[in-house]
Structure 1
Amino acid sequence: MINRADVLAAEKRIKGYVRRTPLLRAGTDAAPLWLKCEFMQHTGVFKARGAFNRLLAARERGELNPAIGVVAASGGNAGLANAYAAAALGVPATVFVPEAAPRVKVERLLGYGATVHQVGAEYAEAYAAAIRYVEESGALFCHAYDQLEIAAGAGTVAEEILEDEPGVDTIIVAVGGGGLYAGVAAAAEGRARVVAAAEDRARVVAVEPFNIPTLNAALAAGHPVDVPVSGIAADSLGARRVGEIAFNMASRVPPTSVLVDDSAIASARSQLWSEYRIPAEYGAAAALSALTSGAYVPREGERIAVIVCGANTDASTLEYLPESDKQKASR
């Protein structure tokens, strides 16, 4: 079971290996909003935090064989993070990704020196192949989201937010397999123990595409369940089911669960680029889309931080305009 102590241990362990990313003020006095610029993290995604925490902790315990190295299964981002961390620590990395993984991510994996295997149509098939490889090779397995050290490393994002802006009421986070959500929720829950009243704890809003509602479906069913995987955010939020760590965290402290459609995600991504020149990938724009689409309506004066968690995207697709805006622009 993950808790804030795990996150604080991760924060101490990975210091010096990851960037402390900026918290950008983006709202007004009447509607306070900050964007956590985690797209500026090493490899362009928050997952470097969990990867370093996993590898460094394993090395401390003598579990990381420098000759065999690590293996990961990923839609792309977790693979990038683990390949980068492995290269930084001088060990080999093998990464399994779906055949449809974006070319930009595969090229970057190769650039970090990883051995890349493209297997199957979605993450679950790449995961099965990675597990077989672990059994054959003895490599250290780094889960994309459902390992305590991975989730705790991701939770250091929330620690930074709450250190930089202690008055933040709500943290909005996109959910795929749930590692980032679980770490953020653990950090927010732990904060309740050091403030005067429970209502001062930072709330967590968990945002998912309608097409991949892993956490939302699990909460409805009372346990993790498989969901179909499709839509524009599938390359980064495309887990078939939410992880046990995330589900247990959500069961302990239920988040506000919000679903958004692909159009809302694309529109928010366009807004991040046009207003802030933030090159967010679709999955990273999902969190903001909860606000811009009205799927989550803040209370008056609610102080919100949105995690923009990744930027591994095709830059040529950033100039998206929703159909309504295209029509306006053509007039």
Structure 2
Amino acid sequence: MQPLTYGDVKAAAERIAGRVRPVTVTPVDSGAIRTGYREGSGDREPEPSEIWLALEQMQHTGSFKARGAQNFLRAHREAGTLPDAGVTIASGGNAGLACAWAARLQGVTATVFLPETAPEVKVARLSAYGAEVRLVGSEYAEALAACEEFAASSGALASHAYDHPLIAAGAGTLLEEIRLRIPGLDTVVVAVGGGGLFAGVEAAARHHGIRTVAVEPENSRALNAAIEAGRPVDVPVDSVAADSLGARRVTLMALYGARQDGVRSVLVTDAEIVRARQALWDHRRLAVEHAAATALAAVTADGDPEAGRAYRPGEGEKVAIVLCGANTDPGSLIARPGDGG
């Protein structure tokens, strides 16, 4: 396995320039998030941390996955390796949407395999992009097996939701944009499923001396378990965010990134994810999926930072929290009179 490099991310940024929506960032209200510095020590007033939200849920197809899909298909088109049989992918939903969108732009067919548990909103949007949708099994791993079999028999180009350097490098272009919008950025916080977003963002962040916080649901912790074991291992998947963060096993690229200096692994509970998601709706009217709220939950959780159950920004620290996707049912959010003003 060749580790992902900053050069890979830069090449992806050049390849997809002008073909994805530039990320928007917005500051979090002062005092809305607890920080890790000690208050009341000495006569000096502590400098507050600076927390930003990176609104990548506004990307084409509703998630950061559009970046990797564009990079993957454009690279194959440039190399002359994009077959007439089109492209196929297994996905919890978001990668499939991105693949279908990018395939339509390239004029080829996308056949997308999803678990039968995929949210209906994602299935409907896939069909709207012209994809052929096939529902298989109850977990991503079963959909992936069916996808691999289809690719072998049909000649379709097999893409991957996260375990491919072109996909991960495309995702990493997000960090390049964020740091330009937040000069002096210290830390980026991202949710982790299979590790494509994390691997790409970490490679770019490391190049610029920026820390990366990798956040997972406690019951869907493929990266955290790989760090403990020293190698990728299968983990059970049981989380409210499993439709996007439901990978059983993290990639070698992600594990390599997790072993670098300046990376921290954090686990959060489903209750904390749900609470963070609701807060984004209550205070910002942002309807995001649970995976996006997972990153925010790291800095709003009640857990112990020393035990890897939360992340507390330090004094004066500039932090960007990536809201990675919005493919959710807004009806699952609770409307509260007077909120959102």
Instruction: Name the TM-score, length of structure 2 as normaliser.
Output: 0.89
- Separation in 1 of the partners of 2:5 and 2:67? 16
The residue type paired with residue 49 of structure 2 is: A
Match for residue 157 of structure 2 among 118, 136, 140? 140
- Contact kept? 1:146, 1:246, Cα under 8 Å: no
Match for residue 228 of structure 1 among 236, 242, 246? 236
- Separation in 2 of the partners of 1:231 and 1:85? 29
Structure 2 gaps of 5+ residues are 31-46, 303-309, 337-341
- Separation in 1 of the partners of 2:85 and 2:225? 38
> For each residue in 1:280-299, what CA deviation from the matched residue of structure 2 results, as whole angstroms up to 9, or x when unmatched?
10011000000111411111
The match for 1:41 is 59
Structure 1 gaps of 5+ residues are 192-200, 322-331
Aligned length: 312
- Separation in 2 of the partners of 1:2 and 1:184? 10
The match for 1:282 is 290
The match for 2:307 is none
Instruction: List structure 1 runs of 4+ shifted beyond 3 angstroms.
Output: none
- Separation in 2 of the partners of 1:225 and 1:251? 15
Cα shift at 1:253: 4.0
> For each residue in 1:281-331, what CA deviation from the matched residue of structure 2 results, as whole angstroms up to 9, or x when unmatched?
00110000001114111111211100000000001012289xxxxxxxxxx
Correspondence list, 1:158-237, <5 A: 158-191=175-208, 201-237=209-245
Is the deviation greater in 162-171 or in 40-49? Answer: 162-171
- Contact kept? 1:270, 1:320, Cα under 8 Å: no
- Contact kept? 2:54, 2:320, Cα under 8 Å: yes
The match for 1:302 is 317
- Contact kept? 2:211, 2:262, Cα under 8 Å: no
Is the alpha carbon distance of 1:144 and 1:170 closer, same or farther for their aligned partners in structure 2, counting shifts above 3 Å? Answer: same
Q: Percent identity?
A: 55
Cα shift at 1:166: 2.4
The match for 1:53 is 71
Cα shift at 1:98: 0.1
> For each residue in 1:183-219, what CA deviation from the matched residue of structure 2 results, as whole angstroms up to 9, or x when unmatched?
000001111xxxxxxxxx1100000000101000000
Does residue 112 in structure 1 map to residue 129 in structure 2?
A: yes
Q: Secondary structure at the match of 1:181?
A: helix
> Higher helix fraction: Structure 1 or Structure 2?
1
- Contact kept? 2:26, 2:53, Cα under 8 Å: yes
The residue type paired with residue 56 of structure 2 is: E
Correspondence list, 1:247-326, <5 A: 247-253=255-261, 255-294=263-302, 295-319=310-334
Q: Secondary structure at the match of 2:108?
A: coil
